[in-house]
Amino acid sequence: MAVELGKAVFIDKDGTLIHDVPYNVDPRRIELTEGIGAALHRMKNAGYKLIVISNQSGIARRLFNENDLLPVNQQIQALLGPYDARVDAFYYCPHGPGDGCECRKPMPGMILRAARDQAIDPRSSWMIGDILHDVEAGNRAGCRTIHFNNGNETEWITGNYRQPSHSVKNLAEAADVICRHALGLWKEAV
C-alpha cells in the first residue's frame, strides 16, 4: 500500500523568514520579515507543511554550536504563534562553504532529507528564498521556486537551476502564488 505524500513550503530562514543578522543566535534579536506571519498562515491553511531550510556555517566557523540554534527556533515559533503559523520542522546545514557537502544550499540535500522525514512530495512543494542559492536548491530537489526579491541577492550568477518559477517583492505575493496554485487557479505559461 503506497503512502500518500504531502506538500510543503520550504522556506529560507535568514533574510526570508526573519531579518538577516549574520551569525545571530541571540533570540532577542530575532524579528520576523514583514508580512511573513500572515503569509505562512495562508499557506498552512492551503494544506502545506512549513519547513525551514537554512545554511548555518557559523557552526563550522565555530562562532556558535548547534545547541545555540534551539532558542532561536523557539523564538521564531513564539513570534509566529499569534498568526497560527507554526513551523513544522527546522533543518540546517552545519557545514562551511568549502566543505563539499550535499546539504548546503545550493545543493538539495536538506530539502530531500526533509521530504523523506516528513513524507513530502517535492514536486507538489515550493521553496522560497531571498537568494538564487535557495532557488537552485529548490529546483534541484524538484520543487517550484519563488525568489523573494528583497535586495539580498548580490551575485546574480545565472545558470542551470537558478531561474525561479516566480519572483515576488513581498511575502504576501508569494502566498498568493502558492495558494492560487493549490486551488488550481494558476495557469502555467506554455
CA neighbours closer than 13 Å in the CB half-sphere of residue 109: 12
C-alpha cell belonging to residue 175: 502566498
Which active-site residues does the annotation give?
12, 14
Give the helix/strand (H/E) hosting 139: helix 132-141
- The helix-helix angle for 36-45 and 171-182 (nearest 10°) equals 10
Helix segments in 34-131, DSSP class H: 36-45, 57-60, 69-80, 109-118
